[in-house]
């Protein structure tokens, strides 16, 4: 797979093809598999994503600690806010739904990771539903998301323990922004700008889950990550360009992650986890590993 998004964008432009087609053909060559085979795997991922969205919307799931669960259903049936009835609110609900399923040890697609698994299904299936976009285009979008994620994995990190939450929900937002931009008709160059615009908004984001549980704030970080992805999409589709090239934005995310204090890298030693209430909830709710 590509190591620089700029190279992929250049190749797609030169060949006059979509980034999805380029990503699928590159993956097929790299792995010695057919494009159809890869599309079929992505289609299965899409089905699991949809299943998680639906499962989480029911509102009956709770995590082992009881700290999270039931909030996705509130967005579906609760009182209206200023965004009621818009795709924006629907995307937020979907993001919470998938992440509530994840926190309850349900089945999700770790794309790119389990902690950031809500953003991609929320943004892609939410916008596809709003725009009556079919499954083939969704599978293409997942291929673009995979391309962007692969570049981030090569140049920076996709691990909260290595790079903080910017490497999980931040990377997910960047992937979703780029993928949805092409799904909605954006050019390869616009995909690059959408990716950069989303990622710049999450730079420095720490990974600070209460008691180390992938629950709080993780569930909500998927909602805010989705909102940032929507921002990147809306701006890029309107023709806004981000002046720092996307690969440099990815590089700096990796640099920030590498220099981030260990307290902010999934250790529950800092951030929200270290607030008085965060510590108290962790003490009260944390399921301890049993020695036996």
Task: Name which of residues 88 to 107 contact another protein (CB under 8 A).
Answer: 101-107
In angstroms, what is the minimal distance from the CB of 228 to another protein? 19
In angstroms, what is the minimal distance from the CB of 263 to another protein? 10
Per CB under 8 A, 6 contacts another protein:
no
Dist CA 290 CA 292 (whole Å): 6
Task: List the interface residues with another protein, window 221-260 (CB under 8 A).
Answer: none
DSSP helix/strand/coil, 207: strand
First to last CA, the chain: 45
In angstroms, what is the minimal distance from the CB of 109 to another protein? 5
Residue closer to another protein, measured from CB, 216 or 233 = 216
DSSP code, position 268: S
CA count, 13 A, side-chain hemisphere, 184? 26
Per CB under 8 A, 41 contacts another protein:
yes
DSSP-assigned beta bridge partners for residue 265: 207
In angstroms, what is the minimal distance from the CB of 279 to another protein? 13
Dist CA 241 CA 197 (whole Å): 8
In angstroms, what is the minimal distance from the CB of 123 to another protein? 14
Pick from 50, 212, 274, 279 the residue near another protein by CB under 8 A: 212
Hey, what are 42's tokens?
Answer: 């992505």
Dist CA 69 CA 59 (whole Å): 7
Per CB under 8 A, 125 contacts another protein:
no
Per CB under 8 A, 267 contacts another protein:
yes
Pick from 9, 23, 96, 127 the residue near another protein by CB under 8 A: 23
Task: List the interface residues with another protein, window 192-211 (CB under 8 A).
Answer: 209, 211
Candidate ranges 79-87, 157-165, 181-189, 235-243; the one touching another protein (CB under 8 A): 157-165
Phi, psi of 123 (to 5 degrees): -70, -45
Candidate ranges 19-27, 84-92, 188-196, 246-254; the one touching another protein (CB under 8 A): 19-27
Hey, what are 259's tokens?
Answer: 């220099």
Hey, what are 149's tokens?
Answer: 């994620």
Q: What is the total residue count of the chain?
A: 292
């Amino acid at each position: 797979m590509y190591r620089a998004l700029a190279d992929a964008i250049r190749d797609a432009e030169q060949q006059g093809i979509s980034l999805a087609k380029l990503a699928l053909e590159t993956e097929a060559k790299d792995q010695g598999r057919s494009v159809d085979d890869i599309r079929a795997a992505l289609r299965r991922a899409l089905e699991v994503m949809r299943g998680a969205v639906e499962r989480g919307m029911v509102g009956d799931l709770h995590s082992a600690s009881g700290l999270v669960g039931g909030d996705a259903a509130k967005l579906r049936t609760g009182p209206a806010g200023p965004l009621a009835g818009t795709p924006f609110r629907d995307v937020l609900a979907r993001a919470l739904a998938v992440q509530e399923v994840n926190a309850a040890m349900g089945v999700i697609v770790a794309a790119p990771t389990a902690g950031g698994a809500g953003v991609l299904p929320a943004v892609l299936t939410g916008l596809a539903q709003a725009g009556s976009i079919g499954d083939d285009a969704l599978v293409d979008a997942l291929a673009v998301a995979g391309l962007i994620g692969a570049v981030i994995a090569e140049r920076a990190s996709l691990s909260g323990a290595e790079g903080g939450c910017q490497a999980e929900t931040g990377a997910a937002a960047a992937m979703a922004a780029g993928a949805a931009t092409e799904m909605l008709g954006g050019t390869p160059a616009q995909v690059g700008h959408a990716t950069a615009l989303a990622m710049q908004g999450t730079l420095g984001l720490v990974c600070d889950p209460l008691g180390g549980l992938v629950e709080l704030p993780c569930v909500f970080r998927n909602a805010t990550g989705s909102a940032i992805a929507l921002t990147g999409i809306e701006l890029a589709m309107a023709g806004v360009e981000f002046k720092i090239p996307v690969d440099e934005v990815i590089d700096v995310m990796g640099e920030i992650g590498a220099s981030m204090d260990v307290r902010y890298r999934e250790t529950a030693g800092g951030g929200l986890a270290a607030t008085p209430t965060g510590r108290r909830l962790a003490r009260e709710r944390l399921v301890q590993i049993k020695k036996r």
